[in-house]
């Protein structure tokens, strides 16, 4: 899945060097772990009104889901047509908005019923999706984040993500956390903390010790991907594709 695997491998070795040279690196503590469907090829994850909402990928297996956090039980599900590879997901008002990978198509679903409401088009690939209360924020695998009008889905601006002036691509799943954009770097165990105004990375979070089997599954695709934030209780959740657990974590500054 997804292109430029060699670049991702280079990036995974590049990140620690950048972090140690100039930008702060953060560690984590696991507060609690929760069951997660180990067959879910997680692409998007968000927390809303006490539940997790998740999108899964792969042609013929893509879906959107409402999940009980405590038990991991899928309470509600809707399959995406098999010609589409599901990608990022976010909530906007009373809807869920989802992307697809290479088919340049996004979908809008009713938040409560999962009923299909509309679809929209965008150029290029769709990877991650989140929102900041005013705009949708989309990644496409490059070093660019696109900001979209949530009514028209047209691009209103974009920022280039950089670390000390060096472009950082492979931006995947996204989540807005206390004003910053958290972005999974594909095929790494690293989350970038991004200033949405400038695109500058202000820190790295190292999750290399979170799940020892990350990247060791079929085709190496069971990588970290999935960030959700409970803004009311200040809880951060992370998981990965085909992972058996979702982790509630607390971020700590590395000495």
Q: How confident is the model at residue 15 (pLDDT cuts 50, 70, 90)?
A: low
pLDDT tens sequence across 72-126: 999 999 999 999 999 999 999 999 999 999 999 999 999 999 999 999 999 999 9
The pTM of this model reads 0.91
Q: What is the pLDDT averaged over residues 176-186? A: 97
**Whether residue 211 has pLDDT greater than 90:** yes
Cβ 227 vs Cβ 175: under 8 Å: yes
pLDDT tens sequence across 137-164: 999 999 999 999 999 999 999 999 999 9
């Amino acid at each position: 899945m997804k292109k430029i695997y060699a670049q991702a491998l280079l990036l995974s070795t590049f990140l620690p060097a950048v972090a140690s040279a100039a930008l702060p690196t953060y560690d984590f503590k696991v507060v609690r772990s929760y069951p997660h469907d180990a067959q879910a090829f997680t692409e998007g994850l968000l927390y809303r009104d006490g539940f997790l909402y998740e999108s899964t990928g792969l042609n013929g297996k893509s879906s959107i889901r409402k999940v009980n956090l405590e038990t991991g039980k899928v309470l509600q599900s809707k399959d995406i047509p098999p010609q589409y590879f599901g990608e990022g997901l976010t909530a906007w008002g009373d809807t869920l908005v989802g992307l697809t990978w290479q088919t340049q198509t996004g979908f809008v679903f009713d938040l409560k019923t999962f009923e299909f409401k509309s679809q929209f088009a965008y150029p290029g690939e769709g990877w991650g999706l989140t929102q900041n209360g005013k705009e949708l924020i989309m990644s496409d695998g490059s070093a660019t984040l696109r900001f979209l009008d949530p009514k028209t889905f047209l691009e209103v601006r974009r920022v280039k993500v950089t670390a000390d002036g060096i472009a950082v691509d492979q931006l995947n799943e996204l989540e807005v956390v206390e004003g910053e954009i958290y972005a999974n770097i594909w095929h790494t165990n690293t989350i970038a903390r991004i200033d949405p105004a400038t695109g500058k990375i202000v820190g790295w979070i190292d999750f290399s010790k979170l799940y020892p089997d990350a990247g060791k599954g079929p085709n190496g695709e069971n990588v970290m991907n999935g960030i959700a934030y409970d803004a009311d209780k200040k809880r951060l959740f992370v998981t990965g594709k085909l992972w058996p657990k979702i982790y509630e974590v607390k971020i700590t500054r590395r000495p």
